[in-house]
């Protein structure tokens, strides 16, 4: 099984990546001239079939999707296949297989328990989160808080970079097409991420301080993430880039913001226990208070109004469960590696 610091892949998948990845940084027309796009799509579909029970295929699938998403979330320094129609087909296959796999972790009977009343729905959704195994996960409440070494914190920060290092961009993508109170709530979240206009307090800048404190290299950030960390980042991009998954993004973000203050409190405790430089923990300190406020406002001003619709309630719940389930598997994985 591959580890976050040594992402081994089987030879066949290695060969596939070695052939395909260089095409991402060539003109789109070159990829569209692929001699056998049907075989290419079948290779991607085969990854999806194997990813459910094969850790190596799962890693390759999520690594490939992450690299493709990089074309859509980072400014290019040269040619790019971003507009390729073949790449779009590959991406949609990867995305659909990823979504189907996440849905397979959800008990369909859970949807039957959703209350119709919006206020009751909010309370019910929070109850689902409280009863989930990821709530108060031992990785945070036992290991990080009381046992983690500086090297353990370094590994944790590296894996967390899959989402935390670009959360502002996800919010920017999420707000497209919204209006009214919903748009304003996303804007408030985004402006907080922007340090309320102070460049030195932009949250990605603060997170980068932690990266620099631990001497984490760009190569580590791009190559040494676990499959579960890659999945977490990919799910966040997936639900924020498609308007048809906006309600899933609402549920996903609601749970992420709601769980963050308690989790970051454990990170802060570990940082102080280890007597690490105080400026390195500013990011987590800020989010303990900010995310508590964000979660409260998000449930009140976005989740509750949307919950008038049964379709929206189901999609919000779906997104929340994607977050809970994928986070649980991610934390189980890194706890098992210590």
Residue 16 within a domain: yes
Number of domains within the chain: 2
Domain containing residue 41: 11-104
The answer on 279 and 142 residing in a single domain is yes
Q: Which of 79, 104, 129 is the last residue of a domain?
A: 104
Provide the CATH number for the domain around residue 179. Answer: 1.20.910.10
Residue 141 is assigned to a structural domain of this protein = yes
Residue 5 lies in a domain: no
CA pair distance 24, 20, nearest whole angstrom: 7
Residues 127 and 163 grouped into a single domain: yes
**Confidence (pTM):** 0.93
Q: Within a domain: residue 43?
A: yes
Residue 33 makes CB contacts below 8 A (sequence gap 6+) with none
In the chain, how many H helices and how many E strands?
Answer: 17, 0
Domain annotation covers residue 189:
yes
d(CA 161, CA 156): 9
Walk along the chain (338 residues) and give the pLDDT tens digit of each residue.
334 433 333 458 999 999 999 999 999 999 999 999 999 999 999 999 999 989 999 999 999 999 999 999 999 999 999 999 999 999 999 999 999 999 999 999 999 999 999 999 999 999 999 999 999 999 999 999 999 999 999 999 999 988 877 888 999 999 999 999 999 999 999 999 898 999 988 888 888 889 999 999 989 988 899 999 999 999 999 999 999 999 999 999 999 999 999 999 999 999 999 999 888 888 888 888 888 888 999 999 999 999 999 999 999 999 999 999 999 999 999 998 77
Residues 36 and 119 in one domain: no
**Is residue 4 included in any domain, yes or no?**
no
What pLDDT score was predicted for residue 93? Answer: 98
Clarify whether residues 182 and 306 are in a common domain. Answer: yes
Q: Are residues 57 and 124 in the same domain?
A: no
* Together in a domain, 257 and 305: yes
Whole-number Å distance between alpha carbons of 74 and 72: 6
Please tell me the distance from the alpha carbon of residue 69 to that of residue 242, in angstroms, as a whole number: 13
- Phi first, then psi: what are they for 3, rounded to 5°? -115, 165
The string of DSSP codes covering 198-250 is -GGG-HHHHHHHHHHHTT--HHHHHH---HHHHHHHHHHHHHHH-GGGHHHHH
Please state, in angstroms and rounded to a whole number, the distance separating the CA atoms of residues 214 and 53: 34
Same-domain status, 125 and 183: yes
Q: Choose one of 104, 131, 149: the last residue of a domain.
A: 104
Q: Considering the domain boundaries, does residue 2 fall inside one?
A: no
Is 267 inside a domain boundary? yes
Helix, strand, or coil (residue 6): strand
Residues 152 and 45 in one domain: no
Last residue of a domain, one of 69, 104, 139: 104
| DSSP structure class, residue 3 | B
Asked if residue 204 and residue 84 are part of one domain, the reply reads no
């Amino acid at each position: 099984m591959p580890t976050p610091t040594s992402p081994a892949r089987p030879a066949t998948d290695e060969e596939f990546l070695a052939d395909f990845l260089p095409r991402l940084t060539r003109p789109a027309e070159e990829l569209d001239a692929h001699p056998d796009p049907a075989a290419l799509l079948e290779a991607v579909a085969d990854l999806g079939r194997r990813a459910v029970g094969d850790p190596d295929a799962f890693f390759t699938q999520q690594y490939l999707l992450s690299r493709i998403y990089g074309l859509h979330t980072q400014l290019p320094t040269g040619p790019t296949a971003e507009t390729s129609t073949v790449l779009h087909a590959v991406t949609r296959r990867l995305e659909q297989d990823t979504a189907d796999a996440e849905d397979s972790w959800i008990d369909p009977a859970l949807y039957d328990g959703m209350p119709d009343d919006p206020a009751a729905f909010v309370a019910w959704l929070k109850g689902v989160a409280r009863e989930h195994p990821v709530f108060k996960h031992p990785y945070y409440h036992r290991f990080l808080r009381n046992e983690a070494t500086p090297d353990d914190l370094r590994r944790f920060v590296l894996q967390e970079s899959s989402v935390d290092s670009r959360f502002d961009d996800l919010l920017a993508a999420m707000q497209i097409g919204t209006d009214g109170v919903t748009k304003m709530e996303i804007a408030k979240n985004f402006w907080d991420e922007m340090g309320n206009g102070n460049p030195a307090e932009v949250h990605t800048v603060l997170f980068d301080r932690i990266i620099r404190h631990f001497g984490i290299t760009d190569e580590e950030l791009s190559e040494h993430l676990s499959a579960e960390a890659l999945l977490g980042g990919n799910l966040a991009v997936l639900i924020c880039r498609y308007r048809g998954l906006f309600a899933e993004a609402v549920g996903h973000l609601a749970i992420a913001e709601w769980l963050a203050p308690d989790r970051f409190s454990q990170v802060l405790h570990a940082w102080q226990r280890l007597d690490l430089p105080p400026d390195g923990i500013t990011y987590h300190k800020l989010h303990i208070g900010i995310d508590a406020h964000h979660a409260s406002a998000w449930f009140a001003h976005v989740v509750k109004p949307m919950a008038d619709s049964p379709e929206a309630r189901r999609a919000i719940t779906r997104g929340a469960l994607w977050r809970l389930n994928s986070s649980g598997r991610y934390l189980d994985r890194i706890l098992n590696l210590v």
